[in-house]
C-alpha cells in the first residue's frame, strides 16, 4: 500500500465545505491549506457553489485534476458513500476526520469503510481523528492557524491515537526545540494502525526517531508491534495509557481500543530495546535526546557544574532513575586539578560531580568536559550550565559541542529556559547537542540513551 498520497500529496480535496459557516471544521482545514502549503486544495460540497471566489465542486469526480488526498469532514453516515466516490474517482487516499463510528458503538459504519478500503487497496487515516500534519505539504487538523503551535522541521515522527495529545506534544516540541518530520493522529485506527506507520517511518529518509502515544491494541496486535519495533533500525519511543482500570474505561469511550495488560506490555517492550516513556515530559525529552544520539550507553554519568547544589540534585535524580554517578579516583582528580585554572585548584570539587564553583571560566568547563569524555568510567556527560556564572561567555556552548564532535561521547546540557539565555541554548542546539530546561529533563535524556538498547 502506497502512503505517499497521504503524507506528500500534490493535490488535496476537502469534502464537507460549508458555504455559510466559515468556522466549520472543513472550512478551517480548507482555509489553512489554501495558499499556505504546497498541496493544491479543492473545496467539495454536494450543492456546489463558490467560496472566496473559488469553485466549490459538488462531487470529487468533478475536480479537473487527479486528487492525491481527500479529507472527509461530514456526518458519519455520509462517509461510506463519499469514500466510495473517492475510490471510483481514483483518489490516492483519505483522512476521515468525522466522529460517530466505533467509539460511539457504530461499528457497522466503521467496518463498511474498512471493507471498501481493503478491497480497493485504498489507504485512509481515522476515523475520529485530526489526521496528518505534514510540512510543507499540508495540514488536516481542524484547528485555526493562529491557535496552532508548530515545531520546526526536524527528524522525529509522532503518531497518536489522541488528537489532543498530539497537539499538546507539538506545542511542547516547539518549546523544547525538538524538530518534527511528520505528525499523525490516527483516532480509531480502523485501517492504518501503529504497525503500518512504524514500517513506513522505518524507511522514511527524513525521520530518525519514531514516537507513539498508544491507548490500546487489538488481540495479538501488541506483540506484533513490539517485535517490529524491536527490530526497527531507528529508536522507537512509546507512551502508553491504560495503566489503571479507570484509564481502561476512558480509552474505550475515546477510541474504542482495548488497553490490555499494561504491566505485561511494559516488561516486554523493555526486553526488545523499545524505549518506554512513563509520562508526557519523558516523551519529549526522549525524543530530543534520541534525535541527537543513536548510540546506547550503560548509564555511567559524569556531571559538570558551577553550583554544588545543582550537582547534588543531579546525583539524586540520576540515582533515582537507575543511572550511576561513579566517583573519580584520586589519581584522576589530581590530573584534572592540574588542568583547571590555578584559582580553582584549592576550591573545586573534582570527584564527580565536578563542581567548578562560580569562579569557573570557559576553559575550566572545556578542560573538565574533555577530561570526562576521555575516561571510560563515564559514558555520558551532563553539563549543568548556569549562564549567570560571571566568568563564562556566550561562546561556551558551541565550544563544548565541539568536544562531542571530537570525542564522540554523548553530552547533555541543562540551561534555564528563558529568552535571556537563548544564545547559550542555540549554541548547543545548532551543534545537535540536546538541551534540557530542568535537571530532571537532562536526566531523562540520559535515561533515554541508556534505554535504547539493541534487542
Render 315-342 in DSSP notation, one character per residue.
Answer: HHHHHHTT-B-PPPPHHHHHHHHHHS-G
230 belongs to a structural domain: yes
| Residues 362, 241 share a domain | no
On whether both 197 and 114 belong to a single domain, the answer is: no
Is 140 a member of any domain?
A: no
- Domain holding 374: CATH number? 3.40.50.261
Q: What is the pLDDT of residue 95?
A: 98
Looking at residue 252, its pLDDT comes to 44
The predicted pLDDT at position 262 comes to 80
Find out whether 152 and 180 touch, Cβ atoms under 8 Å: yes
Q: Is pTM, for the whole model, over 0.85? A: yes
Same domain, 257 and 336: no
* Contact indicator for 428, 401 with CB cutoff of 8 Å: yes
How many other CB atoms are there within 10 angstroms of residue 152's CB atom? Answer: 12
In a 10 Å sphere around its CB, with 0-12 CB exposed, 13-18 middle and 19+ buried, how is residue 95 labelled? buried
Give the integer Cα–Cα distance in Å for 413 and 194: 32
Last-in-domain residue among 292, 317, 344:
292
- Asked if 274 and 367 sit in the same domain, the reply is no
Burial class (CB in 10 A: 0-12, 13-18, 19+), 409: buried
Decide if 141 is inside a domain.
no
Same structural domain, 330 and 272 = no
Assess if residue 431 is contained within a domain. yes
- Do 47 and 111 lie in one domain? The reply is yes
- The three-state secondary structure class of 67 is coil
Residue 137 lies in a domain: no
Burial class of residue 106 in the structure, from the number of CB atoms within 10 Å of its CB (0-12 exposed, 13-18 middle, 19+ buried): middle
Q: Is residue 136 part of a domain?
A: no
| 317 and 444 together in one domain | yes
- What is the structure's pLDDT at 295? 85
169 and 286 co-located in one domain: yes
pLDDT at 220: 84
- Match 469532514 to its residue by C-alpha cell: 73
What nine digits make up the cell of 268?
A: 516486554
- Among 292, 324, 358, the domain boundary falls at 292
Are residues 34 and 154 part of one domain? no
Give the pLDDT of residue 173: 95
pLDDT of residue 243: 66
| Residue finishing a domain among 243, 268, 292 | 292
Residue 156 maps to a domain = yes
Residue of 250, 194, 256 whose CA lies nearest to 221: 194
User: Cβ contacts of residue 3 below 8 Å, gap of 6+?
Assistant: 93, 123, 192, 196, 200
Q: What is the CATH number of the domain that holds 116?
A: 3.40.50.720
Residues 403 and 333 in one domain: yes
Measured between its terminal Cα atoms, the distance across the chain in Å is 28
Q: Within a 10 A sphere around the Cβ of 204, how many other Cβ atoms?
A: 18
Give me the residues of the chain with pLDDT under 50, please: 246-256, 258, 455
132 assigned to some structural domain: no
Q: Which residues contact 35 (CB under 8 A, 6 or more apart)?
A: none
Q: Which domain holds residue 354?
A: 295-451
Residues 182 and 214 placed together within one structural domain of the fold: yes
**158 and 264 within one domain:** yes
414 bridge partner residues: 384, 436
Number of domains in the chain: 3
Amino acid at each position: 500500500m502506497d502512503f505517499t498520497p497521504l503524507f506528500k500529496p500534490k493535490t488535496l480535496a476537502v469534502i464537507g465545505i460549508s458555504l455559510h459557516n466559515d468556522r466549520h471544521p472543513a472550512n478551517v482545514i480548507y482555509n489553512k491549506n489554501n495558499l499556505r502549503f504546497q498541496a493544491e486544495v479543492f473545496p467539495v460540497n454536494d450543492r456546489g457553489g463558490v467560496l472566496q471566489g473559488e469553485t466549490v465542486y459538488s462531487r470529487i469526480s468533478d475536480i479537473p485534476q487527479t486528487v492525491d488526498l481527500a479529507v472527509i469532514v461530514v456526518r458519519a453516515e455520509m462517509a461510506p458513500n463519499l469514500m466510495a466516490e473517492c475510490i471510483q474517482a481514483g483518489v490516492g487516499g483519505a483522512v476521515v476526520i468525522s466522529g460517530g463510528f466505533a467509539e460511539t458503538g457504530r461499528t457497522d459504519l466503521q467496518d463498511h469503510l474498512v471493507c471498501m478500503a481493503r478491497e480497493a487497496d485504498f489507504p485512509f487515516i481515522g476515523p475520529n481523528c485530526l489526521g496528518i500534519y505534514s510540512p510543507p505539504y499540508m495540514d488536516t487538523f481542524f484547528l485555526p492557524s493562529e491557535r496552532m503551535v508548530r515545531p520546526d522541521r526536524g527528524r522525529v515522527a509522532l503518531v497518536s491515537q489522541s488528537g489532543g495529545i498530539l497537539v499538546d506534544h507539538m506545542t511542547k516540541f516547539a518549546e523544547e526545540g525538538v524538530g518534527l518530520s511528520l505528525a499523525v493522529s490516527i483516532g480509531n485506527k480502523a485501517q492504518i494502525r501503529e504497525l503500518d506507520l512504524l514500517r513506513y517511518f522505518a524507511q522514511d529518509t527524513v525521520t530518525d526517531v519514531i514516537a507513539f502515544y498508544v491507548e490500546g491494541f487489538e488481540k495479538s496486535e501488541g506483540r506484533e508491534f513490539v517485535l517490529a519495533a524491536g527490530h526497527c533500525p531507528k529508536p522507537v519511543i512509546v507512551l502508553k495509557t491504560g495503566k489503571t482500570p479507570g484509564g481502561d474505561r476512558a480509552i474505550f469511550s475515546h477510541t474504542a481500543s482495548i488497553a490490555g495488560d499494561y504491566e505485561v506490555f511494559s516488561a516486554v517492550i523493555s526486553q526488545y530495546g523499545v524505549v518506554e516513556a512513563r509520562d508526557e515530559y519523558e516523551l519529549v525529552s526522549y525524543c530530543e535526546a534520541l534525535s541527537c544520539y543513536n548510540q546506547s550507553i550503560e548509564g555511567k554519568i559524569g556531571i559538570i557544574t558551577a553550583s554544588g547544589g545543582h550537582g547534588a540534585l543531579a546525583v539524586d535524580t540520576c540515582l533515582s532513575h537507575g543511572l550511576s554517578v561513579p566517583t573519580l579516583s584520586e589519581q584522576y582528580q589530581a590530573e584534572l586539578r592540574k588542568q583547571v585554572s590555578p584559582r580553582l585548584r584549592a576550591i573545586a570539587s573534582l570527584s564527580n560531580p565536578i563542581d567548578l564553583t562560580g569562579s569557573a571560566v570557559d576553559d575550566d568547563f572545556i578542560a573538565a568536559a574533555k577530561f570526562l569524555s576521555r575516561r571510560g568510567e563515564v559514558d555520558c556527560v551532563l553539563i549543568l550550565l548556569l549562564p549567570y556564572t560571571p566568568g563564562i561567555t556566550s561562546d561556551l556552548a558551541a565550544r563544548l559541542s565541539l568536544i562531542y564532535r571530537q570525542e564522540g561521547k554523548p553530552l547533555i546540557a541543562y540551561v534555564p529556559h528563558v529568552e535571556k539565555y537563548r544564545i547559550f541554548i542555540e549554541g548547543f542546539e545548532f551543534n545537535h547537542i540536546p538541551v534540557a530546561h530542568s535537571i530532571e529533563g537532562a536526566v531523562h535524556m540520559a535515561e533515554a540513551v541508556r534505554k535504547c538498547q539493541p534487542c
